[in-house]
Amino acid sequence: MYSRRNFLGMAGFAGLALNSPLALASNSKPKGSKILTLRNLHTNEKVSCTYWIEGEYQFEALQEVNACLRDHRTGDVAQIDPLLLDQVHSLTRNMEYSGEIHIISGYRSPKTNAMLNKTSSGVAKKSLHMQGRAIDLRLPKKQLSQVRKAALAQHNGGVGYYPKSNFLHLDTGRTRQWG
């Protein structure tokens, strides 16, 4: 049972939350659209889609992305985090890049991740790839070091730099960097 003091405290907190800039901003829908063109380098599949329109994610487009970024070893498909797509979109926009985004790895099944973890020192046992929250990519005709610099400037999620393999890892985990 709640005391009057607890009730008033919770009501006050709720009032603050509902009047926060974030809550107020959510009442007005963002305008515009977000488009990505992805090529899975293992399957050579390409998807070019508008995955976000006028503040709403587009279900059919997200399904196309999920299929393109599936685990190419097992064929398993998982939902890719839309925030990861937003992160990639912001990166390309900030770099004024509008071409194909080459995907080295999107979703990884636990089976594939375990196999890669045994054969490579750069694969985490609890990789965010297994949750659809990580992507390994490159932007053709852009220097990888510049892509890394732009990704780090976003201060958003993890950024792994793999210059010997010529790709950048992005994820929606906590902000951190390596490589």
- 19/35 same-domain check: no
Please tell me the predicted confidence (pLDDT) of residue 27. Answer: 59
Domain span at residue 15 reads 1-30
Residue the block writes with tokens 């998807």: 47
Cα-based angle 139, 90, 127 (whole degrees, multiple of 5): 70
If asked whether residues 117 and 153 sit together in one domain, one would say yes
Tokens (6 digits) for 61: 């487009």
97 plus 109 within the same structural domain: yes
Task: Supply the pLDDT for residue 113.
Answer: 87
What domain count does the chain have?
2
Do 48 and 23 sit in the same domain of this protein?
no
Residues 113 and 150 in one domain: yes
- Taking the C-alpha atoms of residue 9 and residue 13, their distance in angstroms, rounded to an integer, is 6
Q: Tell me, yes or no, whether 107 and 164 share the same domain.
A: yes
Same domain, 69 and 139: yes
Q: Based on the fold, state whether residues 91 and 134 are members of the same structural domain.
A: yes
Sheet containing 167-171: order of strands: 56-57, 46-53, 33-40, 101-105, 134-138, 167-171, 158-162, 176-178
Is the domain of 2 the same as that of 83?
A: no
pLDDT of the chain, 179 residues: tens digit per residue: 444 444 444 444 444 444 444 444 445 778 999 999 999 999 999 999 999 999 999 999 999 999 999 999 999 999 999 999 999 999 999 999 999 999 999 999 999 988 888 887 777 878 899 999 999 999 999 999 999 999 999 999 999 999 999 999 999 999 999 99
Classify strands 101-105 and 33-40 as parallel, antiparallel or unpaired: parallel
Give the pLDDT score at 41. 98
Beta carbons of 108 and 129 less than 8 angstroms apart:
yes
Pair 65, 142 in one domain? yes
Q: Given this model, what pLDDT does residue 45 score?
A: 97
- Residue 117 pLDDT: 81
